[in-house]
Structure formats: C-alpha cells, structure tokens
Structure 1
Amino acid sequence: MRYWLLGALMVTAGASANTSLFNLLNTGDRVNPVAMMERVETDHPGYIADFELDVQDGELRYEFDVINADENTLTELTFRATDGTLILQRNSKLEADDHDELEAVKLLDRKQLRFSELVRMASEQHEGKLMGAQLEHDLGISYLEFKMVDENGKRKHAFDIQKLKPLPMLQWER
C-alpha cells in the first residue's frame, strides 16, 4: 500500500509540474521561442543543435547550443525569455559526444535548412507549447527530437530531417 501511495503522489506531482509549466508558458509576456531561434541564427555563426526551456529562480530562460562545424566549436547561449537579453555565453571546442549533433548539423547545411525552419515544420501538427528541441543522429537517421507540453502533460516527438516528415515510431509520452 505504501508503494502504491508513493507512486500516486509522484504521478500527481509530475502532472502538477506539467500543468504549472504549461500555465507559466501561457501567461506573461515572453519572446516567441522560434523568433528567438531566428535571432540566434542571425547573430551567431553555425547551426542551433539544441534548444531548451529552463526555469531558474522563477525566471523562464531559453538555452541554446550552436555548433559551428567549420571552426569545430560549440557556443552555449542563455537568454531571458521575457525580453531576449543574453545572460550567458560560453564557447568551447566540440567534443566526441557532440558527434551525433554534428552529423545532423551537416545534413541541415546540405539541405540549406535552418533549425528554426525545421522546428516550425515539425511542431506545426502538434498542440501545446514547445519546451525543447534537439538534433540527433542514430541508426543512420538524422532527426529532430522535440518536446511539447499542454494541459495533459509532456510529449516527445521525432521528425526526420532527410525526408522532412514525422517519425511516428519515435513518439512517446512523458
């Protein structure tokens, strides 16, 4: 009985966190995430490989990883979501564990496609608010994994970069 109650409390807490995040995204003024992606693409060389929403000290933030394949660098950027102010910028060399994202970035470059365009295409068929998006390369497929949240919770989806269509076998709920 004790384990069942603990499990029920954890599910309730998770649902409450999803609802709170969804409510936070629905209220207040903030820069549209895709508009922020477009700004990052204009202001920073390379391709966005990762976008995440983060809440720190009650403040909503947008975090980006930008890969510049020509210079073999990774730039991490954090912006205040309310006004788009840059909070943090950190530059480093690409590491071995960045290989999957680099493969997907190279495909975006060959297709002359920006991350923001890919996110817009992939998410237009889904209800809710965008929580995050990341380029992946696995089993010979480069794809965009993205997370959406609505009043019912979070969902992850995948979108094939080569074929520009959803990968339905890679959809799951969280």
Structure 2
Amino acid sequence: MRYWLLGAMMMVGAASANTSLFNLLSSGERIDPLTMMEKVEAEYPGYIAEFALDLKEGELLYEFDVINSEENTLTKLTFRAADGSMVVQRNSKLEADDHDELEAVKLLERKQMSFSELVRLATQKHQGKLLEAQLEHDLDISYLEFKMVDENGKRKHAFDVHKLKPLPMLQWER
C-alpha cells in the first residue's frame, strides 16, 4: 500500500510540475520561440540544429546549437526569453558526436528549408508549448525530435525531414 501511495504522489508531483511549467510558458512576457529562431537564423551563419528552453534561477532562457557545415563549426547560443538579449556564445569545431545532427542539417540545406520552418510545420497540429526541438539522423532517417507541454503533461514527437510528415512510431508520452 505504501508503494502505491508513493507512486501516486510522484505522479501528482510530476503532473503538477508539468502544469506549473505550462502555466509559466502561457503567462508572462516573453519572445515566442519561433520568433527567436528566425532572429538566430537571420543573424548567425549556418543552421539551427537544436533548440531548448531552460529555466535557471527563475529566468527563462532559450538555448540554440547552430551548425555551419561549410566551416565545420558549432555555435552555442543562450538568450533571455524575456527580451532576446544574449547571455552566452561559445564557438567550437564540430566533433564526431555531432555527425548525426550534421547529416540532418545537410538535408535541410538541400531542401532549402530553415529550422524554424521545419519546427512550424512539425508542430502545427499539436497543442501546447514547445520545450525542445533537435535534428537527429538515425537508421538512415533524418528527423526532428521535439517535446511539447500542455496542461496534461509533456509529449515527445518525431517528424521526418525528408518526407515532411510525422513519424508516429516515434511518438511517446512522458
């Protein structure tokens, strides 16, 4: 009985945290993530390969990884969600573990499509707020994996970059 009660309490705590996060993202003044993506695409060379929303010390931040395939570089950017001001910029050379994202970026380049366009297309039929989006390449498939949150919790989805359609076999709740 104690284990059942503990499990129920943990599920209520997780649901409450998801609801609080959703409420935080639904209220308050902040720049829309897609608007911030478009700004990054306009101001930095390369393609966004990853977006993540982070909460540090009560401040909402947007984090981006931008891959420049021509220069073989990775730029990590962090901005304040409230006003879009830069917090951190780090530049480095691509490493071996960046290969999967690089493959997906190259497909986006060939399709002449931006990351923000892909995210907009992938998320248009989903309710909630975007938490994360990352390009992946696995089993010879390039896809966008993204996580959204609504009042019912977080959900992960996958969207095929080549076919521009959802990958239902990769949808799961969390």
Into which bin does the TM-score normalised by the smaller protein fall?
over 0.9
5+ residue gaps, structure 2: none
Question: Which residue number in structure 1 is paired with residue 162 of structure 2?
Answer: 162
1:63: Cα distance to partner?
0.4
Please give the alpha-carbon distance, in whole angstroms, between the structure 2 residues aligned to 1:68 and 1:99. 12
The answer to whether structure 1 residue 81 and structure 2 residue 81 are counterparts is yes
Could you say what secondary structure the match of 2:20 adopts? helix
What is the Cα-based RMSD across aligned positions, in Å?
A: 0.8
Question: Which residue number in structure 2 is paired with residue 40 of structure 1?
Answer: 40
1:12: Cα distance to partner?
1.4
Residue deviations 1:38-73 (CA, integer Å, cap 9, x gap): 000011000000000000011111000001111111
Please give the alpha-carbon distance, in whole angstroms, between the structure 1 residues aligned to 2:64 and 2:106. 18
Q: Percent identity, please.
A: 75
Please give the alpha-carbon distance, in whole angstroms, between the structure 1 residues aligned to 2:22 and 2:73. 34
> Letter of the aligned partner of 2:104 in structure 1?
A
Question: Which residue number in structure 2 is paired with residue 115 of structure 1?
Answer: 115
Please give the alpha-carbon distance, in whole angstroms, between the structure 1 residues aligned to 2:21 and 2:63. 16
Please give the alpha-carbon distance, in whole angstroms, between the structure 2 residues aligned to 1:79 and 1:91. 15
> Letter of the aligned partner of 2:9 in structure 1?
L
TM-score normalised by length of structure 1? 0.98
Question: Which residue number in structure 2 is paired with residue 49 of structure 1?
Answer: 49
Please give the alpha-carbon distance, in whole angstroms, between the structure 2 residues aligned to 1:21 and 1:30. 14
TM-score normalised by length of structure 2? 0.98
Please give the alpha-carbon distance, in whole angstroms, between the structure 2 residues aligned to 1:2 and 1:66. 48
Aligned residues: 174
Question: Which residue number in structure 2 is paired with residue 71 of structure 1?
Answer: 71
Question: Which residue number in structure 2 is paired with residue 97 of structure 1?
Answer: 97
